[in-house]
Amino acid sequence: MTDPTPAEKRRAVKLFTDGACRGNPGPGGWAYILHDVATGKERESNGGQPDTTNNRMELMAVIEGLKALKKSCDVQLHSDSKYVLQGLETWMKGWKKNGWRRKTSSGFQPVKNDDLWKQLDELKELHKLKFIYVAGHSGHAENERCDVLAVEAAEAIRTRR
């Protein structure tokens, strides 16, 4: 797909994401912070699900952050999830080519979380993404804030049970 918005008209944003799970599977939470580079304005959001996995929450954080963007943007995606970053940068192309299946030693198997990967694939086409790995729990301010928000969302669901 061609880029719907010329580079000179796209807004530059930084998207910081994290997911958390209380048990795996268990109640989980996701969170993101969107930072507009030009204005310095930030927006954060979080949410969760009652019975999920950490990887699903990591994916949901990115999905929800990208869905919050109303126009095509240049997005620096900052994540502590190698699963998410490698999936977007490397694995997704092969999965799509193989009908959303991954090659294993015993043949092709369905991609785990393919429902979320397919959503990310659609959202990825709307933006120009740059992937930045952030080590978790290393003092990175936005990653730490996302972790707090994701854990809060997971805990809120856990305590409602």
From 47, 48, 65, 147, the catalytic residue:
147
Q: How many CB atoms lie within 10 A of CB 43?
A: 12
Q: How many CB atoms lie within 10 A of CB 89?
A: 13
- State yes or no: is 137 an active-site residue: yes
Is the model's pLDDT at 61 over the cut of 50?
yes
What is the rounded CA–CA span in Å between residue 58 and residue 61? 5
* Per-residue pLDDT reduced to its tens digit, 74-127: 999 999 999 999 999 999 999 999 999 998 999 999 999 999 999 999 999 999
- State yes or no: is 121 an active-site residue: no
Residue with tokens 């944003």: 13
For residue 25, cis peptide bond before it (omega within 30 degrees of 0): yes
- State yes or no: is 80 an active-site residue: yes
Strand partners of residue 74: 12, 128
From 47, 58, 65, 127, the catalytic residue:
58
- The reported pLDDT for the residue numbered 39 is 97
* Per-residue pLDDT reduced to its tens digit, 124-160: 999 999 999 999 888 889 999 999 999 999 999 988 8
Beta carbons of 91 and 120 less than 8 angstroms apart? no
- State yes or no: is 36 an active-site residue: no
Is the model's pLDDT at 1 over the cut of 50?
no
When pLDDT is cut at 50, 70 and 90, the band that residue 42 belongs to is very high
When pLDDT is cut at 50, 70 and 90, the band that residue 9 belongs to is confident
Is the model's pLDDT at 46 over the cut of 50?
yes
The token pair that represents 128 in the structure block: 């120009």
- State yes or no: is 19 an active-site residue: yes
What is the rounded CA–CA span in Å between residue 79 and residue 64? 14
From 8, 107, 137, 139, the catalytic residue:
137
From 19, 47, 48, 65, the catalytic residue:
19
89 contact partners, CB below 8 Å, separation of at least 6: 131
From 26, 47, 80, 142, the catalytic residue:
80
- State yes or no: is 147 an active-site residue: yes
pTM reported for the whole predicted model: 0.93
